[in-house]
Amino acid sequence: MFLAHRAQDGREQPLREHLRGTAALAERFAKPFGAEGLAHELGLAHDLGKYSQAFQRRLRGAELSVDHSTAGAQEISRVFGWSAAYCVAGHHGGLPDGGGRTDDPSLPTLSGRLKRSVEPYGDFAGEIRLERVGVRTPQVLGKGGFTLSFWVRMLFSCLVDADFLDTETFMRGSPPPRGSTVAMAELLERLETYAADRWGAPQTALGRVRNEIRFACGEAGRTRSPGLFTLTVPTGGGKTVSSLTFALHHAVAQGKRRVVYVIPYTSIIEQTADVFREILGDGSVLEHHANVDWDDEEGGVRDPEKERKKLASENWDVPVVVTTAVQFFESLFANKPSKCRKLHNLADSVLLFDEAQTLPLPYLLPCVRALAELTVNYGASCVLCTATQPALGPLFQAVSADLALREIAPALPLRPFRRVRYERLGMLSDEALAGRLGAHEQVLCVVGTRKQAQAVFRLLEREGSFHLSTLMTPEHRRQVLGEIRRRLSSREDLPCRVVSTSLIEAGVDVDFPVVYRAEAGLDSVVQAAGRCNREGKRDADDSPVYIFQPDDAYTKTLPDSMKLPLEVMRSVTADGGAPDSPESIERYFTDLRHDVGSGVDRLRLVERFEEGVQDPGRPSFPFAETAEAFHLIQPGARAVLVPRTPEAKALADRLRGGERSRELLRKIGQYTVNLYEKQFEALRALGALDVTERELAVLTDETRYSEKTGLEVPTDEGVGIFV
């Protein structure tokens, strides 16, 4: 009998059984986008190399190294060509680069591997027969190369998830506890009950407009056909609940399978996930990002719910996923099976992108192209949610004239949202700025660099003053934000003066009577203003947002990625126009993209995938190269674990002891500060770090970490790092 796997308890899985089980799952996964027939054949072909005698000897204990993926790739290529061969060739090591006709068999490219000699595997013919089936190809967008490469990714996702799941079921002896039994209709009912209790009878004009937005979202969800949408709601307009209202109504009306809510920063994802769990129940919401912890065993007792979520994070088989833009888009351009398993579950889903204006300019075009593919060819509905729409219509229309953005919210009465007045102050030194801040009992000041945040706070230090920046660990920042919220909500008007980097702007729910904002991109200025008079309890004239120019010592060190938005903002508002007017916002993003030009695809990813079909019979795509290069947050940040709490100290001990489990590294994220290379090396030179590996160290000089301002670094670099 030819075997696929052997379990530790001695059980054996016949190879034929594994291939057919994988084929059946892959077929089901690909059905939403019409590729079920081909996916079935990929499942049958992926492990044909295991029919070799060499692999069977290896499975029975022989110390042999056998490449079993290449055989299946060669076999499937003879039936379905290169596109299918990519999936089988990469089902263990990852989607390879295509390469060229002259590639040597020793090269890891698809071209090289299809020429490679493999162990004889012809015995498969006695058990498995591949059939040429009809294939429904996707609608071609652009030149067709990006479309075809995306289709390959989605097929690859179906194959590798099916392979993992069938193997996992055999190894466990039973199906793993995945998925959820809660239907979308039940989740919608829970949302409506929550909204009726919390928003049922609004007493203010702002509350009534929030309800109007929510009702409009429900109506649009029920009646609009799937496609591309915008939800443009001023800050404080209840965007989070309203967008979920659209998503669940749309999912029920259109038969969508799940909702994925994409958030720019981990600094706010927990806040949103907590709201969704409160509304929908903990079991229906998966929070997936670098810092979340699914330790499913505590004190020797296994937690079934945590185990289910841990497994669900691998392929997003849950009704509602809350994740980061980094996790979402880097998965779409990844090549490893572990990263790509979830992709097929984006088909027939509602995808919500919070703070859509934060999509990074250097990757804007690849992100837009990916959303276009998901919308046109995979039945997804995509919603761009923000107070400052980034005017992406022309980019979508350039892909296809049919890709029109449709606004969900009605033409809003803007008066309830005019909660602030803007005033420009010119240049302020740190001393002058601190003097102005000290004159307020409650005030928020947002600056552009971590260095300035620390400097201004030191000039302000007195009871009721707080500092927030990414030089503080995420766990520490949560503590400080909790105290800030407590003071702001107290009836005693407790002093609360906060100096922060921009991490507080995007979605952090705080309400100050006065805000100061260092000059920045227009969207950043408007987001900062959203933290002022958020609930509309004061007159706009009594709620100032002061825009000031920092000392040149800070602005001259800003990277070009921050200087250009600042300059465009100055140009757009030079005539005195309000930063938050729809006209200013549209002009800002249009001018910004014009000035960036081809910089919206720094790596030429779209162009390179489009060019990949120049030889139609041998499409050559840079899958592996792209995965290596595509990082929304540029690599190079080095993490320092700060043992300021008993929990962090215990993690540091485990790290020093040599442990490197995924569970440990996830937990560590809550207690780390990310530094630039120069900052990291400067601290090491001072003997303040115990470097456990190149990109991770433990802080040994605890005097370097302040309970007020976080990690003290001896260099001048200081633009915030978000992870």
Question: Mean pLDDT throughout 331-335?
Answer: 95
Task: Give the pLDDT band of residue 274 (cuts 50, 70, 90).
Answer: confident
pLDDT surpassing 70 at residue 308 = no
Top-confidence residue, 695 or 687: 687
Token pair recorded at residue 266: 């981990």
pLDDT surpassing 70 at residue 307 = no
Contact partners, residue 559, CB within 8 Å, separation at least 6 = 719
Residue 203: how many CB atoms within 10 A of its CB? Answer: 7
Q: How far apart are CA 224 and CA 407, in angstroms?
A: 11
Task: Give the pLDDT band of residue 134 (cuts 50, 70, 90).
Answer: confident
Residue 489: how many CB atoms within 10 A of its CB? Answer: 10
Measured in whole angstroms, the distance separating CA 286 from the mean position of its chain's CA atoms is 13
Instruction: Write the DSSP string, 349-364.
Output: EEEEEETGGGS-GGGH
Q: Are 3 and 37 in contact (CB under 8 A)?
A: no
Question: Mean pLDDT throughout 250-256?
Answer: 96
Question: Mean pLDDT throughout 15-35?
Answer: 96
Residues of the chain with CATH 3.40.50.300: 184-292+303-407, 418-581
pLDDT surpassing 80 at residue 176 = no
What is the topology classification, in CATH, of domain 418-581? Rossmann fold (3.40.50)
Q: How far apart are CA 58 and CA 74, in angstroms?
A: 21
Residue at token pair 């809550």: 670
Q: How far apart are CA 288 and CA 341, in angstroms?
A: 14
pLDDT surpassing 50 at residue 721 = no
Query: Which of 313, 308, 311 shows the shortest CA–CA distance to 289?
Result: 313
* Average pLDDT in the chain: 87
Token pair recorded at residue 101: 């006709």
Top-confidence residue, 86 or 8: 86
Task: Give the pLDDT band of residue 357 (cuts 50, 70, 90).
Answer: confident
Q: Establish how many alpha carbons lie within 13 A of residue 282's alpha carbon, considering only the half-sphere containing its beta carbon.
A: 4
Query: Which of 348, 501, 518 shows the shortest CA–CA distance to 432?
Result: 518
User: What is the per-residue pLDDT across 421-444, written as a single tens digit (0 to 9) for each?
Assistant: 999 999 999 999 999 999 999 999
Task: Give the pLDDT band of residue 332 (cuts 50, 70, 90).
Answer: very high
Question: Mean pLDDT throughout 75-99?
Answer: 94
Contact partners, residue 321, CB within 8 Å, separation at least 6 = 258, 259, 260, 261, 285, 286, 288
Q: 302 exposed, middle or buried (CB, 10 Å; 0-12, 13-18, 19+)?
A: exposed
pLDDT surpassing 60 at residue 77 = yes
Residues of the chain with CATH 1.10.3210: 3-172
Q: How far apart are CA 211 and CA 228, in angstroms?
A: 23
Indicate the class that CATH gives domain 3-172. Answer: mainly alpha
Token pair recorded at residue 150: 């995306």
Q: Yes or no: is domain 184-292+303-407 CATH 3.40.50.720?
A: no
User: What is the per-residue pLDDT across 296-306, written as a single tens digit (0 to 9) for each?
Assistant: 444 444 555 55
Would you state the pLDDT for residue 412? 64
